[in-house]
Structure 1
Amino acid sequence: MANIFLLEDDKILSKGISIALKKDEHTVTAVYGYLEALQQYQKQKYDLFLLDINLPDGSGLALCEKIRETAETPVLFLTANDTEEDMLGGFSAGCDDYISKPFPIEVLRKKVLAVLKRTGGGTARVRYRDLEVDKEKRLVLMKGQEIHLTSTEYKLLLYLMENRGRVVTKAMLLEQLWDIDGNFVDDNTVRVNIKRLRQKLNDEKQEYIVTVFGMGYTFGE
């Protein structure tokens, strides 16, 4: 439903947040440090930024200020800094809202949905050439004709399309495909589902899903 950028240096907390947001069909790009975030945040269009403030190599406040130089994408801070001074500093940097740690994951989910609804974030349809995905109806259309995909195939295709032009590694795909109920998926799961997707898209020439040898896959040109 929405493409979300998550900057949180606590990898356990980051994993928990990612799993929770994927329950609402969001796509999550997770990074763990300020310098990594600087390299990644402009590589695609995001509907929401979730930023930790205190990081080992920088500050989420500084990243928020950089985002505000070029975009009005909503920013939600995840932080233990909940004094009035800290909150005012965050709003001065350009954030839209705060959530103080520790927080119940369900509260975060509701707040994310509220921010996206208020700002109109999230794109209902993703298109490339003759291929279209309607995220609200979970429909995949090729030249107007519905293609029936499994849940795993659908998640794979949507993630690749939303990261069009970017090399997506197998590790990144495995993170997206990790079952929210905890069922194990492995490297073979990616290969098998990529093969099935190509068959269903009649993509033997790799015009949609392109293998980048030794790295992973990319979508489109």
Structure 2
Amino acid sequence: MNVLLVEDDPTIVEALSRLLDAEGLRVMACARQSEAVELAGRESFAIALLDVTLPEGSGFGVCAALRAISPEMPIIFLTASDDEYSTVAGLEAGAVDYIAKPFRPRELTSRIRAALRRSAGAAPVLRAGDVELDPTRATCTKAGSDVVLSAMEYRLLLVLMQAHGRLVTREGLRDAIWDSAGEYVEDNTLNVYVRRLREKIEDVPSNPRVLLTVRGLGYKMADAKERTS
């Protein structure tokens, strides 16, 4: 599982990377808000660890952006031990926990695991054909193999999967992607996202069997359902 670490202290980044690697977690680190948002749009993460104070932007800004990209992903703030304001503000912004610096390694890994366990029960896995989407971990697989999606592609697939085989209009899809991207999505742009998504989840993209077009109206997923185990 990938861990997003947003921290500008290279000593902490190195120590956390070694510690979490030993726990089977892959750390991907950056130091600025813009870098964190860009990285979150390209990669899927099981959890995020955010420092409050950054050279550019803040942990609170990163938290807000991550909530739009991956609403179910647990976020933990890294705070100074006596910084009560940041602790409260972080929890109110949507974080599930905070960890005071300096860290005690065993406590840190225990609290990360606890957050992941709580998150694992937050949402069922969605399935259509041989495609599965796990909203809790923000991951997608096809026939058991990982599918790498951009933030836009993931959001598009999530909206369609959550409709459980019902029609989703083009307008509804544009609105959903607009909410995620923060910018208006033209009709032609939606066509591009649908085509790119089909290239990743269909056996034959030109003859789709999973992501179906309802001509003149919108799209739906074939045989979409939830998987609870």
Question: Aligned pair in 2 of structure 1 residues 94, 126: CA closer, same or farther (>3 Å)?
Answer: closer
Do the aligned partners of 1:81 and 1:87 also contact (CA within 8 Å) in 2?
no
Look up the match of 1:99: 99
Displaced runs of 4 or more, over 3 A: 81-84, 125-129
Cα deviations across residues 183-208 of structure 1 (Å, max 9, x unaligned)? xxxxxxxxxxxxxxxxxxxxxxxxxx
Do the aligned partners of 2:79 and 2:87 also contact (CA within 8 Å) in 1?
no
Give 5+ residue unaligned stretches, structure 1. Answer: 133-160, 167-221
Look up the match of 2:46: 47
Do the aligned partners of 1:8 and 1:30 also contact (CA within 8 Å) in 2?
yes
Give 1:128 shift: 5.9
Cα deviations across residues 158-184 of structure 1 (Å, max 9, x unaligned)? xxx68x479xxxxxxxxxxxxxxxxxx
Do the aligned partners of 1:11 and 1:32 also contact (CA within 8 Å) in 2?
no
Normalised to the residue count of structure 1, the TM-score between the two structures is 0.53
> Where do residues 1-221 of structure 1 align in structure 2 (5 Å cutoff)?
2-70=1-69, 71-80=71-80, 82-120=82-120, 132=145, 164=148
Q: Matched residues in 2 for 1:30 and 1:83: separation? A: 23
Do the aligned partners of 2:77 and 2:87 also contact (CA within 8 Å) in 1?
no
Look up the match of 1:212: none
Amino acid at match of 2:80: A
Give 1:126 shift: 8.1
Q: Matched residues in 2 for 1:60 and 1:47: separation? A: 17
Give 5+ residue unaligned stretches, structure 2. Answer: 122-135, 151-229
Cα deviations across residues 5-57 of structure 1 (Å, max 9, x unaligned)? 11110111101101111111112211122221122112122110011110111
Query: Secondary structure at 1:95's aligned position in 2?
Result: coil
Q: Percent identity?
A: 32
Q: Matched residues in 2 for 1:13 and 1:84: separation? A: 21
Question: Aligned pair in 2 of structure 1 residues 88, 23: CA closer, same or farther (>3 Å)?
Answer: same
The more displaced of 75-84 and 42-51 is: 75-84
Query: Secondary structure at 1:58's aligned position in 2?
Result: coil
Give 1:81 shift: 6.1
Query: Secondary structure at 2:98's aligned position in 1?
Result: strand
Do the aligned partners of 2:52 and 2:77 also contact (CA within 8 Å) in 1?
yes
Look up the match of 1:153: none
Q: Matched residues in 1 for 2:118 and 2:44: separation? A: 18
Aligned residue pairs: how many?
A: 134
Q: Once superposed, what is the RMSD of the aligned Cα atoms?
A: 2.6
**Greater gyration radius:** 2
